Structure 1
Amino acid sequence: MSFRSLPLAAGLLVAGTGLATAQDASAYDCRGLATADELPVLEGQDGFFYRLNLNMRTYHPLSTAAAETVGTLSRVLAERGTQLIYVPVPTKSLAMPGKLPDAAANYGYDEDLAQTGYAAFLSELDAAGVAAIDTVAAMRALPEDRAPFIGLDFHWTPAGARAVAGAIADRIDETPALDDMPTTEIDMTSTGTKPMDSALRRHIQSFCRESLPLPRTERFETTEVGGDAGGGGIFAADSAGPPIALVGTSMSDEGTFNFEDSLSVETQAQVANYSITGGNQFGGITSFLLSGAFRETAPRVLVWENPIYNNLGGFGERPLRELIAAAGASCEPLETANPAPRVLTADLPAERFTPETYLGVDTGSANGRRAELSFTTEDGLTGDATIQRSERVGPTRWFYEYARPLWRDDYTQVRVELDQPAEDGATLSTCTVKGPQT
């Protein structure tokens, strides 16, 4: 049996004397940290700590089907004039294996196997036509005194973020279709280092007798000097037509790590940031692609940052399918009734409802987080689906449901119940996306 198929608990059973050695060698007299019931952490060298449940993995799930669906999203965006660039933020162990303790091997971590798994991850995306950044190569190219990750936190440092931003800029430069992307002269200056709050540090401290240092990060100021394009400022997410839109997690959302500004400096282009802390893999991109900002003016480049351990197939295919529809579906309205404030109904013409159809819901206003869809046959058989927005994402105006998973050729009507009253102009539609849906 390979380590891939072993649960973490199995790895803990073989820790043996290695675990004791790791504890005895603790620089902060930490005890029981690696066997904590919640969030076990392994102490590495020089004050660097690694989360066991995430950093000791030697592979990260990405099925061929999920990669191909992201490839479809990339293609649909390209047809609209937007280049998708996927940024899989690596684990700390992939980026900084040299700071791992010897005890890492006792938990099943094998650097060569981890690198092989990472290469396979990038290969799947490349085969699907997705432009993905080799973030590990970018981070490992940093000098030794510029660590890519914060020792007592799981986020990247400004140096790590800038290294990745440079790799993104290189990819943009290598893309002929982006040769005419508007640029803006942007300068960035350091304002020194400041301490940062870290929930991970607080967790670790509860297992250590010696006081842990507060993590510090370098801070910067960014100034737009001038450029050749109009649009809003680089800090304004609601600016009209920024060349680059950034969607992602706290890695991108929180200014402490300086990724947004690094991206603007490295690309010399305006960046509008739609990332969401706590939004996981789909929060930021869902919020943006279902926004009026994207519909009105799509960016030339969409940078999608997502930690590699956030499985793109972890919620099934629905989130990616909805992104595909939001990115480029052509919709034809159905004759829609509004029999109750929160209910929309319509008949389904057989010739317009196929397995590759998306059922589009326009509520008339960006006020909804939930849409419950019921498809019904003349005999009363029903198929149901629910689309739920998280609190992090916030309300949206549009919802899309891919027909194939629940499709029948005898559905004749659809009923949609919303969590908020439909506004004027609320409409149900059948929507299609050009090309194969794999």
Structure 2
Amino acid sequence: MIRQTFTLRRISLLAVSLMLRPVVALEQGGATGAHAQEAQQILYRCDNLQEKSPRSTIGVKLYQGYDGWFFRKSDLENLFEVSDESLAAFKRVNEALAARGIHLVLMPMIPRGIVGRDKIPNDGLLSDMIYDPDFSARQFSAFIDALRQAGIDVVDINQILESAPDFDHSSYSFAADVHWTPDGARLVAEAVARKIRQIIPEKPNPTKFETSLSGEEVLIRGNLTKALNEVCQDKVPPDKLATFKTVQALTSLDALFADVAEGGDGRDLLHIVGTSYTDEALYYNFAGFLREFLKADVSSFSVAGGGLTDAIYGWTQKSGGLAKKPKVLLWEYSSLREILKENTIVSSAIVPAIFGACSGDLEIAAGEFAAGSNFAFDLPKTGERASNYYLHLNFSNAALTGFHITYRYADGNERIATFTNPTRVARLKDLYQRFPEERDDTPVGVSLQLENGLSTSGNVQLCRFPIDAFSRRPVSN
């Protein structure tokens, strides 16, 4: 069931407002009437782009805008729905991190149609769809509000842009690449730094970081540009980017060896998990700008192409990640619809991974298994709800890719689940799985089958979540 009801009412308002607009035909090669001047800014010949682009390597429908801009269909969304299940998944991550003393800040990326609104031809009246960037911006902010009402601290990039009237919105993103530019990354980093300093006030002796041009220029050859050159008659050149570097400003030799951890408790101030937007191996320098504005070091665990879950799941298992207990975790993700597909993974795998291996009263049962590819374990009866428990399996073989898990219940019924290790985060040796919640009772046995004929030894734990883990009050925004 979809939680939001505002979308249905505003669809009708959108339709009425667009019916009042003049309809002007626009072809890729030219235009007539009031839009002739704008149409002259169509730079490349890409005949029948909407029909041909789904057959490109990225397999999505594309639209050409002005000044060399191109949009994916997903960049031109009018509505941003979030289900009750998705909200519950984010809320559980928030509460799990809070139980570990970590403050979650979620940062959904704003769609390019909103920031590139001036580059959309024919006032958004496209050949096979209608797009209204003002309506889309309001819906994006409503999406942010829905997350906040669930108790999650969220960065609203649309509000950041609206609060910067002198910032050229079209400079936020590349024209023929889906990512933000360093200008966009810098604008958002400054606002995020202010938010984090509201959560964690600045330490007495801040560390100075300085950002400057690196002197190097790179060509941005993303998947969008590559796909365009598969289907367009004219060559679409890559965007050129002057890169930045951020370094610690040393005021003395002592500063070179100083502990840059935030405060005196040895905890890091901020970790980042996310996608290519915040991956330090790429060219946007978001983490560098954050260091400059925060006057503190940050660690990025983002993974290009990792989607919603790869980076945060890898972060839970890395020795420099969750084990360091940062004060704030910034979780960036780029596809707003991805949570609709992956809320089960978030709830069943990432939430227990945040709690990790259990001990003491939280360890209900434990055992070891010899090398093999098939394992079966009997589990003790708990007499409690399945949602209170999870499995933790540790493997000797870090090259494992996927698993088939079969849960067996006292009445003889079984439930089969499949789990795949994140493809872009290698060398993970732990599997965390919350019990299926379709049933109230816990399973009395579990069997595990490894994929691809691989073999491993290891150990298994049946863990209980802390009693008050999911009853915390919402964070403030």
Which bracket does the TM-score occupy, shorter chain normalised? Answer: 0.7 to 0.9
Q: What is the DSSP-based 3-state SS (H/G/I as helix, E as strand, rest coil) of the residue aligned with 1:284?
A: helix
The residue number in structure 2 matching 1:388 is 420
Q: Where do 1:183-222 residues align within 5 Å?
A: 183-192=206-215, 193-222=217-246
> In structure 2, how many angstroms separate the alpha carbons of the residues matched to 1:258 and 1:410?
47
- Shift of the 367–213 alpha-carbon distance from structure 1 to 2, 3 Å rule, reads closer
Counterpart position of 1:111: 133
* Structure 1 residues without counterparts, runs of 5 or longer: 6-15, 233-239
Residues 350/223 of structure 1: CA separation in 2 closer, same or farther (3 Å cut): same
1:370 CA displacement: 2.2
Matched, 1:44 2:73: no
Could you tell me which of 318, 321, 329 is aligned with 1:291?
318
Which residue is equivalent to 2:382?
351
Partner of 1:65 in structure 2? 85
For the 8 Å contact 2:388–2:464, the answer to whether it is kept is: yes
Find the residue that maps to 1:351 and give its secondary structure: coil
In structure 1, distance between residues paired with 2:9 and 2:385: 43
277-286 or 371-380, larger mean C-alpha shift: 371-380
Give the distance between the partners of 2:412 and 2:446, measured in 1 at CA. 12
Q: 2:433 aligns to what?
A: 401
Q: Which amino acid aligns with 2:292?
A: V
| Counterpart among 348, 355, 362 of residue 328 in structure 1 | 355
Give how far 1:208 is off: 4.0
Q: Residues of 1 paired with 2:70 and 2:10: CA distance?
A: 22
Which residue does the alignment assign to 1:30? Answer: 46
The equivalent of 2:369 in structure 1 is: 338
For residues 274 and 318 of structure 1, the distance between their equivalents in structure 2, rounded to whole angstroms, comes to 19
- CA separation in 1, counterparts of 2:156 and 2:100? 25
SS at match of 2:68: coil
AA at the equivalent of 1:338: F
Letter in 2 for 1:28: Y
Question: Deviation at 1:199?
Answer: 2.9
Change (3 A) 1:241 1:208: same
Change in 2 beyond 3 A, CA 1:148/1:54: same
Matches of residues 138-177 of structure 1 in structure 2 within 5 Å? 138-140=160-162, 141=164, 143-144=167-168, 147-175=171-199, 177=200
**Secondary structure of 2:311's match?**
helix
CA shift digits 1:178-215 (9 cap, x unpaired): 55598521111113443322332232234444443430
Q: Structure 1 residues 179 and 268 mapped into 2: Cα distance closer, same or farther (>3 Å)?
A: closer
Structure 2 residue 49 is the aligned partner of structure 1 residue 18: no
Paired position in structure 1 for 2:36:
none
Shift in CA distance, 231/364, structure 1 to aligned 2, threshold 3 Å? farther
- Following the alignment from structure 2 to structure 1, what is the Cα–Cα distance between the partners of residues 394 and 205? 35
Q: What CA deviation, in whole Å up to 9, does each residue of 1:131-172 have, x standing for no partner?
A: 111112324525238700001111110111111111110111
Q: Calculate percent identity across the aligned residue pairs.
A: 21
Shift of 1:390: 3.4
Secondary structure at 2:158 match in 1: helix
The answer to whether the 8 Å contact 1:343/1:422 transfers is no
1:242-391 paired onto structure 2 within 5 Å: 242-253=268-279, 254-328=281-355, 330=358, 331-332=362-363, 334-338=365-369, 341-351=372-382, 354-365=385-396, 366-377=398-409, 380-391=412-423
Q: How far apart, CA to CA, are the structure 1 residues paired with 2:457 and 2:249?
A: 43
Per the normalisation by structure 2, the TM-score is 0.78
Q: What count of residue pairs does the alignment treat as equivalent?
A: 420
Residue 236 of structure 1: aligned partner: none
What is the match of residue 259 of structure 2?
230
Report the AA paired with residue 369 of structure 2.
N
Q: After alignment, is 82-91 or 189-198 more displaced?
A: 189-198
Distance 2:195 2:470 in 1: 26
Structure 1 residues 312 and 379, CA gap change in structure 2 (3 angstroms):
closer
Give the AA of the match of 2:325. Answer: A
Two-structure CA RMSD over aligned residues (Å) = 3.2
Report the 3-state secondary structure (helix = DSSP H, G, I; strand = E; otherwise coil) of the residue aligned with 1:317: helix
Structure 1 pair 354–398 and aligned structure 2 pair: CA distance change class (3 A): farther
- Once the two structures are TM-superposed, the CA of residue 367 in structure 1 deviates from its matched residue by 4.0
Q: In structure 2, do the counterparts of structure 1 residues 20 and 400 end up closer, same or farther at CA, with 3 Å as the change threshold?
A: same
